[in-house]
Amino acid sequence: MKGILDFARYKRERRPITMVTSYDAWSARIAAEAGIDCVLVGDSVAMTVHGFEDTLHATTEMMVAHTAAVRRGASKLFVVADMPFLTYRKGIAHAVDVAGELMRAGGASAVKLEGVRGHEDVIEAIVGSGIPVMGHLGLTPQSVHQLGGYRVQGRSSEEAQRIFDEARALERLGCFAIVLECVPEQLAAEITEALAIPTIGIGSGGGTSGQVLVLHDLLGLNPDFRPRFARKYLDGYETIRDALARYVEDVRGARFPAREEILC
């Protein structure tokens, strides 16, 4: 299994780190076979799989169940699990319990949490407990209502400075990597240059140490949501819909099952 020391080395060697979200055993198995470096059981599962409007609906129970499924699908993959909304804002003991549950019951290799201000002590405590922590800055979806929507962060010089300072703080607190979501390319590249730990970008240009995409965006599974930065590698929605439509037609037309498909 790859680990945090490999990711640090990849950054030093300028070998881009590959990450994709995964929420279940089948996609984890495929991601592992495709040679992905690590998967993220993102709280985006609340939207992509459970159909909620935002990530605020992800619960600890939900995240543990999906993380465990991913682990069952790919026993040797480095798995990062998101800490759900507010679970790291209720004090150190609660946060360490949730992180521990994601590691122990879910089989995660690391946890990810958003932001830094106001929960520096929590990050330090989780890292101090022996759990690798990935930070997440820029567009932090759990704060979508405070940010006023899903929009690029760090355009003004004050905002850019704040994100830069937060990235340095996360490194100081012991994070092994940081996701930079929807920040201007130059800012992401400057942060990446300034830090020793790797940055993983999403919608933040090519100057980061690696890239992460939401699996459903990459596979084109949601026709109503096509972020500009997410390259679509498959027309998944249409492909699956057409396969199911063929199945429906075959059953209705008595073409399925065929003689050789009848087992008993």
Active site residues: 181
Q: Which is nearer to ligand KIV, 177 or 212 (CB)?
A: 212
* Residue at 229: amino acid letter: F
The single residue among 18, 21, 60, 204 that binds ligand KIV, judged by CB under 6 A, is 21
Question: Binding of ligand KIV at residue 202 (CB under 6 A)?
Answer: yes
- What's the min distance (Å) between Cβ of 158 and ligand KIV? 24
CB of 202 to ligand KIV, least distance (A): 5
Radius of gyration (C-alpha) of the chain in whole angstroms: 20
- CA distance linking residue 74 with residue 55, whole number of Å: 24
Give the Cα separation of 223 and 264 in Å (integer): 40
Quick check: 24 and 48 in contact, CB under 8 A? Answer: no
Q: Pick from 212, 217, 219, 221: which binds ligand KIV (CB under 6 A)? A: 212
Percentage helix, strand, coil for the chain under 3-state DSSP, each rounded to 5: 45, 15, 40
- Minimum separation from the CB atom of position 251 to ligand KIV (A): 36
Question: Would you tell me how many other CB atoms lie within 10 Å of the CB of residue 52?
Answer: 15
Count of chain residues binding ligand KIV (CB under 6 A): 12
User: Contact letters (x/-) for ligand KIV, 163-182, by CB under 6 A?
Assistant: ----------------x-x-
Query: In the complex, which residue's CB is closest to ligand KIV?
Result: 42
Query: Which residues, other chains included, contact 190 with Cβ-Cβ below 8 Å and sequence gap of 6+?
Result: 164
- Residue 83 makes contact with ligand KIV by CB under 6 A: no
Residues 23-52 that bind ligand KIV (CB under 6 A): 40, 42-44
For ligand KIV, the closer CB: 110 or 214: 214
Of the two residues 175 and 202, which places its CB atom closer to ligand KIV in the complex? 202
Residues in the chain: 264
Q: Out of 71, 81, 82, 201, which residue is the one contacting ligand KIV (CB under 6 A)?
A: 82
Residue 95 · residue 137 · CB < 8 Å: no
CA distances from 226 to 40, 88, 181, 214 (A): 20, 30, 16, 11
Query: Is 123 among the residues that bind ligand KIV (CB under 6 A)?
Result: no
Euclidean distance between CA atoms 95 and 234, whole angstroms: 38
> Is the Cβ of residue 195 or residue 202 nearer to ligand KIV in the bound state?
202
Residue 257: is the preceding peptide bond cis (ω within 30°)?
Answer: yes
Token duo for residue 203: 């919608």
Residue placing its CB nearer to ligand KIV in the complex, 224 or 260: 224
For ligand KIV, the closer of residues 42 and 106 by Cβ is 42
Q: Which residues bind ligand KIV (CB under 6 A)?
A: 21, 40, 42-44, 55, 82, 179, 181, 202, 212, 214
